[in-house]
């Protein structure tokens, strides 16, 4: 299992894949006209996992990673890869 950031239109998604190569979006951020917004995936209703108005991309990514959203799907000892992967085709 690996956890990584992938470029998408207007931002990046935090992704997780398994040994079979299946990928799951577990968070992300978007750059909009009104600023940067970010979210971390959850199984229920937790509005504190979504926020708008970040000053930088780094702040938004740190916000998402602080929730460890990969814990919902796999082992809690996962590390986020340092290198951002390109857009999927």
pTM across the whole model: 0.91
pLDDT by residue (tens digit) across 36-83? 999 999 998 999 999 999 999 999 999 999 999 999 877 777 899 999
Task: From 71, 72, 33, 66, select the one nearest 50 (Cα to Cα).
Answer: 66
Task: From 41, 30, 32, select the one nearest 65 (Cα to Cα).
Answer: 41
pLDDT on residue 78? 84
Q: Is 41 helix (H, G, I), strand (E, B) or coil?
A: coil
pLDDT on residue 30? 98
Average pLDDT over every residue of 6-18: 95
Q: Where are the domains of the chain?
A: 2-72
Which helix or strand (DSSP H or E) is residue 67 part of?
Answer: none
pLDDT on residue 10? 95
pLDDT on residue 73? 79
């Amino acid at each position: 299992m690996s956890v990584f950031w992938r470029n998408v239109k207007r931002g990046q998604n935090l992704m997780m894949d398994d040994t079979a190569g299946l990928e799951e979006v577990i968070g992300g951020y978007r750059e909009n006209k009104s600023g940067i917004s970010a979210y971390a995936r959850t199984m229920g209703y937790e509005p504190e996992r979504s926020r708008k108005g970040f000053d930088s991309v780094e702040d938004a990514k740190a916000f998402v990673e602080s929730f460890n959203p990969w814990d919902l799907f796999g082992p809690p000892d996962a590390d986020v890869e340092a290198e951002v992967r390109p857009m999927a085709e």
